[in-house]
Structure 1
């Protein structure tokens, strides 16, 4: 199986890449820097970067695309004078537009597979059932990408695609912090199991890393 994972240079993306490599799968990881080892250069906010990598992959067949790259820029912002417009633009460019461009760019490679899968790393903070206050930009971007994934599942279903959106848990990463509940490896193990279970019958799902259906 050949898997492309965006944002594979650290955090959950790196843990997923290492897990699949240990299993003997072919992993194409991406990061914003120049090529290094199995990592390929991709700025998910830049259409020309997508086009360049898609061309480099040639006739590669992708069985699984994991849209993991993302940012959380608005921690500590104050409601009265924070959350500047440029911060909204940058966050949505990475977390929403970047996911769409990634999927759009690698559709030809996914279509070469008999059972293509797309996994979007979202967050429970994108659910309409959770409102903890604050983090307006990040939460709104995760709500948007959840909606994006659901609609892509509908449009790609006739071609046999399976699309899922996943909450990875509160993970001890640079973004999650040291006080988070689970390790990167625990999250990756759970997410990989979810990706294996994903199929055309479950397309459009929104699930947690440990297999629980999450309310939209």
Structure 2
């Protein structure tokens, strides 16, 4: 069976993607910070023998190394770096919290690349794909409203790093893309999002199924539209 490893699998888009890939017959390694609190994810285990749930804080690089060692013999066909953090709302210029900015950058920009590094041997075994969940808010060209300093900058950094991933891993047959999942009604996206998590997940899965080598290093939304950097 093809194998997916996904972070931030306990809720929202991560949970919807986990459910969708399980339904399609994939084996799924689902990671989240606190499985004991991930009731919806744990509920899936009884009906899905291909689901494994692991505790992982993506910024705990020692724990990440340990998990990679534990899974060292597994080909990974698809790695979805989904775990993310928006940070405090309504941050205004003149009062930007530096500690929070560092936290947002660590989770959204640094950790996805470190997760990819950790599982590179697994991805090489399968000539797999890395899908980094970004945001349209990381598009510099699309920024028409200002603000959002913490989140925007973290996703722009992720986009830049993901482009380098695509170039550096091309020789290994590994594709890397960044994806805008849409404005989704989740804990992060809020109640006014335009789509639900299932719609986003279905679009992402469809896009990834159609991905070609020449698409590596590009920025897409969940409907397959190419987005500007």
Pairing of 1:112-151 with structure 2 (within 5 A): 112-113=125-126, 115-131=127-143, 132-151=145-164
Pairing of 1:15-34 with structure 2 (within 5 A): 15-34=16-35
Name the SS for the 2:5 alignment partner. Answer: strand
Deviations 1:73-112 (A, max 9, x none): 031222232x211011111110011111100000011111
Residues 1:184 and 2:185 are matched in the alignment: no
- Choose 27-36 or 117-126, whichever is displaced more: 27-36
TM-superposed CA distance for 1:186, in Å, is 0.1
Residues 1:106 and 2:107 are matched in the alignment: no
Distance 2:26 2:194 in 1: 28
Pairing of 1:165-180 with structure 2 (within 5 A): 165-180=178-193
Residues 1:155 and 2:156 are matched in the alignment: no
Given that residues 29 and 54 in structure 2 are in contact (C-alpha distance below 8 angstroms), is that contact kept between their aligned partners in structure 1?
A: yes
Given that residues 41 and 53 in structure 1 are in contact (C-alpha distance below 8 angstroms), is that contact kept between their aligned partners in structure 2?
A: no
Give the TM-score taking structure 1 as reference length: 0.95
> Which residue of structure 1 aligns with residue 84 of structure 2?
70
Q: Give the superposed CA RMSD.
A: 1.2
Deviations 1:124-164 (A, max 9, x none): 11111122211101000000000011111001001111111
Structure 2 gap segments, 5+ residues each:
37-41, 46-51
TM-superposed CA distance for 1:196, in Å, is 1.0
Given that residues 9 and 39 in structure 1 are in contact (C-alpha distance below 8 angstroms), is that contact kept between their aligned partners in structure 2?
A: no
Deviations 1:15-63 (A, max 9, x none): 0000001111101110012575532111111110111111121301100
Distance 1:15 1:190 in 2: 11
Name the SS for the 2:213 alignment partner. Answer: coil
Given that residues 171 and 181 in structure 1 are in contact (C-alpha distance below 8 angstroms), is that contact kept between their aligned partners in structure 2?
A: yes
Give the TM-score taking structure 2 as reference length: 0.90
Structure 1 gap segments, 5+ residues each:
none
TM-superposed CA distance for 1:178, in Å, is 1.0
> Which residue of structure 1 aligns with residue 72 of structure 2?
58
Distance 2:185 2:204 in 1: 15
